[in-house]
Amino acid sequence: DQNYVTVDMNTFSMFLDGTIHLPKKSVLITIDDGGQGVKEVAIPMLTEYRMHATVFLITAWYQPSEYENEYIECHSHTHELHSPGACPTEKGQGGGLLCLDEETIKQDLEASRNTLHGSTVIAYPLYDYNDYAIEQLKKNGFTLAFIGGSKKAQVGGEHYKIPRFPVSTSWSFETFVDVVS
């Protein structure tokens, strides 16, 4: 009702690179994991209102064919590296991209990309990333990677540290409106 535009990943990528301008009221909607009511609630609602969104799927848990339609696209949340405690860390939850050996990461990312028809976009599992994780994504052909960060993405921003606002069920509608506007 407020004339917001939802964009797909390709449009967002062109915005990030500065090749296109977006209307002031533009939003990239992302949903992590694939469970918790995505198929039953989010996708029907997004489709009804013709809003584009990206679902970052854990491909060992969910298949993209269950989600894709003309408004929904699926990208990687790894194949099965979404488990806390795989790597020691002082900050974060210890996701496997932080420290597992290159071959394990390569196999996981290949499985995810193959399941997702070659997608080169990923959201870090558990919001965990470091220089090693970024290096592994680059080596394995990924071009965009999303973090948390609770700030807006900007033209010319880093391709492997794209910020997002993790929306919480504890947010009031007023908080949501403040963040989006």
State how far the Cα of 50 lies from the Cα of 70, in Å rounded to an integer: 9
pLDDT for the residue numbered 178: 85
Q: How far from 108 is each of 65, 76, 181, CA to CA, in Å? A: 19, 11, 37
pLDDT for the residue numbered 65: 92
Q: Where on the phi/psi map is residue 18: left (φ > 0), alpha (ψ -120 to 50), or beta?
A: left
Note down pLDDT in tens along the chain; length 181 residues.
888 999 999 999 999 999 999 999 999 999 999 887 888 999 999 999 999 999 999 999 999 999 888 999 999 999 999 988 888 887 788 889 999 999 999 999 999 999 999 999 999 999 999 999 999 999 999 999 999 888 999 999 999 999 999 887 888 888 888 888 8
Q: Give all strands (DSSP E) within the chain, no chain letters.
A: 5-6, 26-27, 30-33, 53-57, 72-76, 121-123, 144-149, 162-164
Quick check: helix, strand or coil at residue 5?
A: strand
pLDDT for the residue numbered 7: 97
CA atoms 7, 175, 38, 106: torsion sign = positive
- Least Cα distance to 101 among 133, 143, 70, 60 occurs for 133
pLDDT for the residue numbered 170: 86
